[in-house]
Structure formats: C-alpha cells, structure tokens
C-alpha cells in the first residue's frame, strides 16, 4: 500500500518507489509535517522538538506549556491566527471581518485511484496506478472545512497536493489566500531554482541560495506568464545534475500564481505554492465549496536530471491526454513568418505545394484568415472565414490542401477582442473593463470575460462552426496579452473573477477536446507565456517561445526541460537571419534545436535554394527516424548553456541500447580549445557504435570523459551523435 495510517500514533505515511512523505495528527488535533525524503521504513515523529521559544505564541489548549508553539513546528497546512507568524497556506475573512481560522483534524479516508478536481486539470491514473488520501480539517467556530487531497503515483516518485474548502457554517466567508501546498523542512541549506524571463526569452535558469527572509515568484498577469514559470525546485548547495537530493513543485494552473520559499528565525525552510493573492477574495456562501488547483511534487536523490525525468514521465502519461499523447506529431509548416497578415488562399496553396514537395505533413494557417483582419488592430472576435480576402471558401481551401496530401491547421485567439470588430460593437459588455474608465489595451486588443458562461458558450459555437466546416486537424490556441482590467459586468462580487476566468477557459477547451478527439491543439500565449502543467492537460504541446532563434532557444529549451517533457515543446526551424534578433545560424543547427521538440518549420519555403530544400527533406526523414526516441526517451542535460560554451543534450532509450546526442557551439574563439561532450545513461561495461564516424566507443569512457568535438571553422556549428549498443 502506498498510503499507510498508524492508528496508534496518528501518523500518515505516503510511499513512492524512492521517497517517503510523512505527517502526524498531534494531541491537539494539529496536522504536523514530519518528513519528506528518501524512502524509509520508520516513523519520524522524534524529529519534532519542543522548547520555550520566547516571543512565539502558544495555542490556548496548551495551557501553561510554553514549549508548544506552531511558530516553530512544521505543518501541512498552516493558517493565520494560530500563533504561526510565517507565511500561511490559507487566509479567511469572516462575515464579521475577522481573519481567524483554527483548523484541526476531523477525519480521513484512503482509497485506490487518483482524486479529480471539479473544473480543473489534474494528474489522472487508473485505480491500480495510484492511491488517494483525503484529510479533513475543520474550524469548529465557523464550520469551515478544508479537505487536503494527496495523490500518490508510486512508480513515478510523484505526490500531488490539492485543497477543497467547504463552507459548512451558517454565514458567508471570503477566501483571501489559498496555497495548494506547504512544505516545511526542519533542517538543510537549500538553493532555490526558478525560471524567469520575458516575451521571447522565457524560462531562463536561475539558482540562488535560500537565506533568511522570503524569496517569491509569481504572476499578476492573468496567465502563468513569460516572466516567471509556475515551477520551483529546492536542492542543497552540493546537488548537481547527477547527484544529490532535490525537490520540485509544479502548479497545475494557467492563471495568476504565487510561489515562495523562506528561511525562518530557527533556520527552518518553508516552501508554498498556490493562487496569486492580488485581486483574490473568493466568496463562499453557506454550503458552497472551492477547489484550489493541484501541485505536483517529486523527489530525487540522484540529482536534478532524475527529478526532471520523474516529471517528464508523469506529465507524458498522466497529465497529457488524447490521440497525440503517445505518438509523434505531424511535421508542420506555419504560415506566420512566411506571410504574417499578407496572404490569401492562392498564396497558401503555393506554400502548401512547396511544403508537400519537401515532405512536410501539415500546413497551419496562422493569424489573418478571419473577419476584417489585415493587421492586428481589428477583427478579433469575428470568427468567420473572410472569403473576399482569401478568394475562396474555407471548404475549398481545405479541399486543395488535403488534395496535396497535407493536413490543415488553423490559428485562433478566442480570449481576445478588438474594439474594431462586429462582436465588440454588438457586445461591448463582454470585454473585461473597469466601469467608467478607459480600458488598458495590449496589442490593441481587449480581453473577453471568460468568467461569463454566455461568452464561453458563444465562442464554443463559433469555433465549432469553423472546425466542422473546414476539415481542420490542428488548432493553435493563442493569447497575446495580459489581463489588466479584472472587472466583470456580469458579476457582483469581483474577488473571484480571475479564478473563474480560468475555469471558463478550461471549460471551453474541455468541450472542444470531447467533441473533437482527433484534433491536435497547441497552446500558445504570445509564445511561451502560458507554458504550464495546467495547459498540458488540454494541449499536449505548447509553443515554447515566439523566439525561433536556435541559439536563444538552446537556453529557453534548457530551462523548459527541468519541468516539462520534450514532447510538449513546440519548436520550429525559421529563416536566417532570424526575424527576432537578426542572428545567422546554419540550417543544420536550426534543425537540430527544433528537432528536440515537436518539430516544424516557420518560413517561406518557396524561396529556399534547391540545396536547402533537399536538406529539409533529409531533416524530416531524420526526425521520423528519431521521433520515438526524442519524444519518449530519457532526457539528459549534458551541459549548462548559461555557463558553458557548448549546449548539449541527449535522449536515451529506456533499455539503454540507443542514445541520440546533440551539441551546439555557443561561442567560438581563436585557437579554439577542445570540447568534450560527456554522455550519460549508457550501459556500463559495454561498447557503442557511433553512426557519425562508424567507430566503436567504450561506454564508460564516453560517460567519464566524453566525445571530442571536431574543430570546424564557423559560428554556431551543431553536431549530432547517434550511438547504438554493440551486440
């Protein structure tokens, strides 16, 4: 059994293959955290210590015992008002405006299978693949109940956390803070690893020491954001890619979030992750409940790379869904960087013919096909095919594309609206805006109020009318601005608009994937502004960044790899000089970087030379050959591109018999020094043949020292090594 309960001392133990998580209900009914780390068979309640902490408060129940203080004890779900002055997991404002909450253990239940969350994405599993613990805490005065949900996926070293809050009292309350997870560590000196960025430079790796005080990341933008990814890692200072203990927390949510880690006065470390507090004050009337989104936890004592592999496997098999969860995606050509808004049906068909000739499998018609849409200043919201601009109907275009043997994809941005649109003129009240004030524009567009069911229902019908009539097999779901005007004319209490907006988004996506089970949806938010575990539940791949430059992408995809599987990374070959930064890189380098993802093209293939077109045919053939290994193999980071002059990564089959290594030179110098690519994950004591040169190499030497790089002239050269076990 993955979950055990010792009735004699009220200790709950959650075991995965390599980790143990343990907590205890103490004599006062408080739920204390005991241990999270390597798998063990004992009980860790002896780790708790009690002393008079001077200015730390004591629960009234403790009487004259000044040694008992929640200000120093590790907890599972701390609340304000208990005497713990560290960051709480929950804040409640009662009807009398008091903000007190005293949560004590009431009951629990353990069952096979994995819990689900109403209206929210969550890890899923069959009954035999997981176990669930539901722990109910209650505030006896207000009647508020908090159900802590724990899901254990033993084989993946994953434990999930979520929270359900129920108002069982007779008076309304407001949730003003809700964090889905709290991890308290009694000892240890940790580094916090997080991933910051901006548009076109997302998920940049950052590792800093945890010190006294709090370090916080989050998003107030209505999306998980380009600026901070909703993922945080903790690791002792000595932990590396290949050794040492480490922990990860990934938020399964696509809106505003908050994650923080603090070292307290007693050198204890607390990590929390949950919903953003700004503009959050969720009303709960008597009998109503609220679900806080899930956090996925994992632990490794074999370094950061193993931690990433835990998450990759869990996300691929127990978060992503649908037809394309387990199969290579079609190689596509997106029209955006080929034409931007300047295209019609004839130009698209010309592009499609060139794509088909090169072996590309899908043409994606990006922004500009609908409404009055010749630039980004008008037309959003008018989801009808512009036959006048296109010179044909959508059905005629689809017939021509399909006749060339290609699939057809299409771009949508359903969450936004231009003021210059028929929809806005008919329903200005559907846009989020503060009453009596001019709205904030982003990309000259406003945001539709997805907290309103009538808005979501309308968009569902409009999108379906296009998908039904056009034979569409792929949908790129974009969102190109942040949400500033968080006010809904359709709601009285405004404290839950941001959360209800995301529920509306998830509802629309869920209805689409149920109606169109064979439709491949790619998430996008100005590129990588909503690259999170929540979106992966609905879209098995996400456009990693609007920056398609191969050298920048090495760093962007490096940071992404810490928490997300390669099968989710939307990555394309684009033109050189690159249209985001002007850099010139070899076509081979661009293809190797893009191949380490879902793979596609983002350029006008018609203008390429015969040699370049032949190279693309070879790249696509290579991708089909390597795709199963790339999408399902064990992923290894071989270098740190923020520190090293080479970017290197590797895919290894689960049987360890095949390995595919990529390396990109990020810097070149005069009289260049030799670089060695140290391979990982091979079978010790065996030999491997390298396809590039036909030579046989000893696995242990490859893993200890590595392959020497050829000293070729030129910037940004890239190399690929395919190794196969000698039988």
**Per-residue confidence band for 453, with pLDDT thresholds at 50, 70 and 90:** very high
pLDDT at residue 446 greater than cutoff 90: yes
Give, in order, the Cα–Cα distances in Å from 177 to each of 101, 171, 257, 597. Answer: 12, 19, 11, 37
Task: Tell me which residue of 306, 157, 295, 162 sits closest to 230, measured CA to CA.
Answer: 295
Is 294 in contact with 162 (CB distance < 8 Å)? yes
Task: Tell me which residue of 634, 665, 661 sits closest to 650, measured CA to CA.
Answer: 661
Q: Give residue-wise pLDDT tens across range 188-207.
A: 999 999 999 999 999 999 99
Q: What is the CA radius of gyration of the chain?
A: 27
pLDDT at residue 173 greater than cutoff 80: yes
Beta bridge partners of 234: 192, 247
Residue bearing tokens 């909503």: 530
pLDDT value of position 438: 96
**Per-residue confidence band for 85, with pLDDT thresholds at 50, 70 and 90:** very high
pLDDT value of position 627: 97
Return d(Cα 325, Cα 360) in angstroms, integer.
21
**Per-residue confidence band for 158, with pLDDT thresholds at 50, 70 and 90:** very high
Higher pLDDT, 36 or 471: 36
The mean per-residue pLDDT over the stretch 383-393 comes to: 97
**Per-residue confidence band for 253, with pLDDT thresholds at 50, 70 and 90:** very high
**Per-residue confidence band for 713, with pLDDT thresholds at 50, 70 and 90:** confident
Task: Tell me which residue of 221, 92, 257 sits closest to 486, measured CA to CA.
Answer: 221
pLDDT value of position 499: 98
Which backbone phi and psi does 464 adopt, to 5 degrees? -65, -35
| Tokens of residue 398, six digits | 């689809």
Burial class (CB in 10 A: 0-12, 13-18, 19+), 522: buried
**Per-residue confidence band for 491, with pLDDT thresholds at 50, 70 and 90:** confident
Q: Give residue-wise pLDDT tens across range 538-553.
A: 999 999 999 999 999 9
pLDDT value of position 709: 82
pLDDT value of position 556: 98
Q: Write down the mean pLDDT value for the chain.
A: 97
pLDDT value of position 555: 98
pLDDT value of position 722: 98
pLDDT value of position 470: 78
Return d(Cα 144, Cα 142) in angstroms, integer.
5
Return d(Cα 129, Cα 146) in angstroms, integer.
26
* Nearest-5° Cα angle at 240, 33 to 229: 65
Q: Give residue-wise pLDDT tens across range 258-298.
A: 999 999 999 999 999 999 999 999 999 999 999 999 999 99
| Tokens of residue 190, six digits | 């940790």
pLDDT at residue 492 greater than cutoff 90: no
**Per-residue confidence band for 81, with pLDDT thresholds at 50, 70 and 90:** confident
Q: Give residue-wise pLDDT tens across range 570-596.
A: 999 999 999 999 999 999 999 999 999
Please report, rounded to a whole number, the percentage of residues in the chain having pLDDT higher than 70: 100
Q: Give residue-wise pLDDT tens across range 677-707.
A: 999 999 999 999 999 999 999 999 999 999 9
| Tokens of residue 475, six digits | 């949908």
The mean per-residue pLDDT over the stretch 647-651 comes to: 98
Is 89 in contact with 182 (CB distance < 8 Å)? yes
Q: Give residue-wise pLDDT tens across range 62-77.
A: 999 999 999 999 999 9
pLDDT value of position 319: 98
CA 636: distance to chain centroid?
Answer: 19
The percent helix, strand, coil of the chain (3-state, each to 5) is: 25, 30, 45
Return d(Cα 413, Cα 360) in angstroms, integer.
25
**Per-residue confidence band for 340, with pLDDT thresholds at 50, 70 and 90:** very high
For every residue of 553-575, DSSP letters joined together read HHHHHHHHHTTS-GGGEE-EEE-
pLDDT at residue 480 greater than cutoff 80: yes
**Per-residue confidence band for 83, with pLDDT thresholds at 50, 70 and 90:** very high
**Per-residue confidence band for 1, with pLDDT thresholds at 50, 70 and 90:** confident
Number of Cβ within a 10 Å radius of residue 101: 22
The mean per-residue pLDDT over the stretch 7-27 comes to: 98
What is the DSSP-derived secondary structure letter of residue 8?
A: T
**Per-residue confidence band for 604, with pLDDT thresholds at 50, 70 and 90:** very high
Q: Please list the active-site residues.
A: 532, 612
pLDDT value of position 154: 98
For 116-140, b where at least 16 C-beta lie within 10 A, e where not — what string?
bbeebbbbbbeeebbbbbebbbbbe
Is 80 in contact with 151 (CB distance < 8 Å)? no
pLDDT at residue 59 greater than cutoff 90: yes
pLDDT at residue 170 greater than cutoff 80: yes
pLDDT at residue 257 greater than cutoff 80: yes
The mean per-residue pLDDT over the stretch 449-456 comes to: 98
pLDDT at residue 597 greater than cutoff 80: yes
pTM of the entire structure?
0.98
Return d(Cα 246, Cα 234) in angstroms, integer.
6
Give 191's Cβ-side CA count (13 Å radius).
16
pLDDT at residue 673 greater than cutoff 90: no
């Amino acid at each position: 059994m993955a979950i055990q309960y010792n009735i004699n001392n009220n200790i709950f133990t959650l075991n995965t293959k390599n980790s143990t998580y343990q907590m205890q209900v103490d004599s006062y009914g408080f739920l204390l955290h005991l241990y999270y780390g390597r798998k063990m068979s004992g009980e860790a309640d002896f780790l708790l210590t009690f002393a008079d902490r001077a200015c730390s408060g004591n629960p009234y129940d403790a009487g004259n015992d000044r040694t008992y203080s929640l200000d120093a004890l590790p907890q599972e779900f701390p609340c304000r008002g208990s005497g713990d002055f560290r960051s709480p997991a929950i804040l409640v404002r009662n009807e009398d405006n008091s903000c007190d909450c005293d949560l004590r253990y009431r009951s629990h239940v353990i069952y096979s299978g994995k819990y689900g969350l109403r209206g929210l994405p969550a890890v899923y599993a069959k009954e035999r693949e997981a176990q669930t613990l539901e722990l109910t805490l209650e505030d006896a005065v207000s009647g508020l109940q908090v159900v802590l949900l724990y899901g254990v996926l033993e084989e993946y070293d994953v434990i999930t956390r979520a929270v359900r809050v129920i108002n069982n009292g007779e008076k309304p309350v407001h949730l003003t803070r809700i964090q889905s997870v709290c991890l308290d560590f009694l000892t240890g000196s940790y580094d916090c690893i997080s991933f910051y960025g901006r548009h076109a430079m997302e998920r940049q790796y950052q590792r800093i020491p945890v010190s006294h005080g709090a370090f916080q990341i989050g998003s107030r933008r209505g999306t998980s954001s380009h600026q901070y990814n909703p993922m945080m890692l903790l690791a002792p200072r000595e932990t590396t890619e290949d050794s040492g203990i480490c922990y990860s927390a990934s938020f399964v949510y696509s809106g505003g979030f908050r994650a923080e880690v603090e070292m307290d006065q007693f050198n204890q470390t607390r990590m929390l992750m949950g919903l953003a507090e700004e503009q959050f004050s969720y009303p709960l009337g008597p009998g109503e409940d609220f679900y806080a989104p899930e956090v996925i936890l994992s632990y490794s004592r074999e370094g950061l790379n193993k931690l990433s592999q835990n998450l990759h496997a869990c996300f691929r098999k127990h978060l992503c869904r649908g037809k394309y969860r387990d199969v290579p995606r079609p190689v596509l050509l997106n029209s955006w960087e080929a034409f931007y808004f300047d295209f019609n049906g004839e130009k698209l068909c010309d592009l499609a013919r060139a794509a088909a000739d090169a072996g590309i499998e899908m043409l994606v018609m990006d922004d500009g096909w609908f409404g009055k849409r010749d630039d980004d200043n008008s037309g959003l919201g008018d989801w009808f095919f512009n036959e006048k601009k296109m010179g044909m109907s959508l059905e005629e275009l689809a017939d021509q594309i399909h006749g060339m043997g290609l699939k057809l994809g299409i771009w949508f941005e359903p969450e936004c609206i231009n003021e210059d649109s028929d929809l806005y003129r008919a329903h200005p009240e559907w846009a989020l805006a503060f009453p009596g004030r001019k709205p904030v524009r982003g990309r000259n567009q406003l945001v539709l109020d997805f907290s309103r069911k009538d808005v979501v229902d309308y968009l569902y019908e409009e999108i379906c009318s296009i998908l039904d009539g056009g034979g569409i097999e792929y949908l790129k779901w974009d969102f190109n601005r942040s949400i500033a005007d968080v006010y809904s004319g359709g709601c009285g209490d405004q404290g839950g608009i941001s959360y209800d907006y995301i529920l509306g988004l998830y509802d629309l996506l869920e209805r689409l994937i149920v109606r169109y089970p064979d439709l491949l949806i790619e998430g996008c938010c100005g590129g990588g502004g909503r690259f999170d575990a929540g979106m992966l539940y609905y879209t098995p791949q996400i456009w990693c960044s609007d920056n398609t430059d191969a050298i920048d992408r090495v760093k962007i995809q490096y940071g992404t790899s810490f928490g997300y599987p390669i099968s989710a990374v939307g990555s394309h070959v684009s033109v050189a000089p690159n249209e985001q930064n002007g850099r010139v890189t070899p076509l081979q380098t661009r293809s190797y970087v893009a191949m380490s993802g879902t793979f596609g093209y983002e350029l006008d293939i018609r203008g390429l030379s015969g040699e370049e077109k032949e190279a693309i045919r070879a790249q696509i053939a290579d991708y089909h050959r390597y795709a199963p290994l790339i999408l399902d193999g064990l992923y290894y980071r071989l270098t740190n591109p923020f520190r090293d002059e080479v970017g290197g990564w590797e895919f290894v089959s689960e049987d360890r018999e095949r390995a595919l290594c990529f390396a990109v030179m990020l810097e070149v110098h005069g009289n260049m020094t030799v670089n060695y690519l140290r391979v990982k994950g091979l079978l010790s004591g065996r030999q491997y043949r390298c396809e590039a040169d036909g030579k046989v190499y000893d696995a242990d030497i490859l893993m200890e020292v590595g392959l020497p790089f050829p000293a070729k002239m030129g910037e940004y050269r890239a190399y690929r090594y395919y190794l196969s076990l000698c039988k």
